[in-house]
Amino acid sequence: MRQGDMESTRLLVTAGADVNAITADGKGSLELAIYNGNYEIASFLIDNKANVNHADAEGFTPLFWAVDRRNMETNPGMPWMVTADPLPLIKKLLASGANPNAFVDNIPTSRRSALNLTPRTTYATALARAAFSADLELVQLLLSYGADPNIVSSHNETALMQAAGYAWIDGYSRGKSNAERLQVIKLLVELGANVNAADDMGITALMAAGHLGDLPIVQYLVDAGADLGAHDLGKKNDGQFGGSIEPLMPIDYAIGVGTFRPNNSIVLQEKAVDLMTRMMKEKGIKHTTSECTLRGFTCGDVDPMGASAAEIAKIRAIAIGNQVQGIVGGLGQSQK
């Protein structure tokens, strides 16, 4: 299945090979074929009664792997990563009884793991994976087969958060345009998604949108009732993060104080900061994040006492992670 030899597969199945045999890592033949982009073989295995709902040792199902494969970032330098669109196979899986609500509660490690590109998120279901990449066509297809858009991960992450930009990093997922992303968000909200739901770190969809920095998405979520004055739960020095940081607001994610990026790089979404600042003023919401947190960097020639949030973020983008008054920047990880 890994090599994609259709004729050998046909001969083995004809000779009585078990299409549902399991490998040491818990994958069946169907999962292996999809994982490796061999969709013709996968289709043949479905026709020969392969279990379309088998979950491997990590909880991933054939449907999930097909959704992931459709939205995986590809690389021409790695030919095995470039495949045909698996959408016809996804349709066949669903028509053959694949459960769109199978609880995966995991995330595949990036195929380009040497670049440290696996986001800090957990997909509850195949729909969450499609929403993460803003794959509107696939989200609509899964919904038409009964996918529940409000299933949350064990960390309380929602498909809406993931559609809004939760943990988004370039290079992991193919991703669609932000215009299509907005359409996915609108669809999820229309189906009852809670715009103020928070994960177990207190992160909301609006914080994710601030991180992504797309103005129409930020504006839509606020218009739909997302709270500009919400706070996450802060980061504790618990081993996951190298230091502590106070609870942050949605605007802080646009500034770059809150970041999902594995390398803790700071990304200033300046236009989103301007928009959120204006809306906060209109609504009478104060930006309560302390100056100490916002200036957790070497200040250079900028006066931290008088610098604006955007000016501070610009400096953080260049010189991050230096300790100031006991607060360590860059999600609490000091830079050597």
pLDDT at 255: 85
Question: Per-residue pLDDT for 157 more than 50?
Answer: yes
Global pTM reads: 0.84
Is the CB of residue 161 less than 8 Å from the CB of residue 206? no
Please report which confidence band the pLDDT of residue 327 belongs to, taking 50, 70 and 90 as the band edges: very low
Domain-wise residue ranges, the chain: 6-289
- Tokens 């809150």 correspond to what residue? 258
What mean pLDDT value characterizes the chain?
Answer: 82
Query: d(Cα 57, Cα 211) in Å, to the nearest integer?
Result: 33
Q: Enumerate the β-bridge partners of residue 106.
A: 123
Q: Which region, left, alpha or beta, applies to residue 105 given φ > 0 means left and ψ of -120 to 50 means alpha?
A: left
Lookup result for tokens 């009478």: 284
Q: Is the pLDDT of residue 112 over 80?
A: no
Q: What is the pLDDT of residue 199?
A: 94
CA 205 to chain centre: 12
CA–CA distance, 158 with 107 (Å, rounded to integer): 14
Residue 334 has pLDDT above 50, yes or no: no
pLDDT digits (tens, 9 = 90+) for 253-291: 998 877 665 544 567 898 999 999 999 999 999 998 876
Q: In which element (H, E) is residue 38 found?
A: none
CA distance 176 to 17: 40
**Looking at the DSSP assignment, which residues form a beta bridge with residue 28?**
22
- Owner of token pair 């006066």: 303
Tokens of 2: 């890994």
Q: Would you state the CATH architecture of domain 6-289?
A: Alpha Horseshoe (1.25)
| Average pLDDT estimate for 125-136 | 97
> Per-residue confidence at 244, pLDDT binned at 50, 70, 90?
low
Could you give the residue ranges of the DSSP H alpha helices within the chain?
A: 6-14, 29-35, 39-47, 62-71, 87-95, 126-132, 136-144, 159-164, 178-190, 205-212, 215-223, 250-255, 270-283, 291-294, 309-316
Nearest to 110 by CA among 263, 299, 296: 263
Angle at 18 between CA 12 and CA 22, to 5 degrees: 115
Residues 23-69: tens digit of each pLDDT: 888 899 999 999 888 999 999 999 999 999 999 999 999 999 999 99
Confidence of residue 323 (pLDDT cuts 50, 70, 90): very low
Q: How high is the pLDDT of residue 72? A: 83
User: Are 204 and 145 contacting, i.e. CB atoms less than 8 angstroms apart?
Assistant: no
Q: Cβ distance 313 to 273 under 8 Å?
A: yes
pLDDT of amino acid 48: 96
Torsion of CA 130, 93, 125, 81, to 10 degrees: -50
Q: Which two tokens stand for residue 203?
A: 């992160």
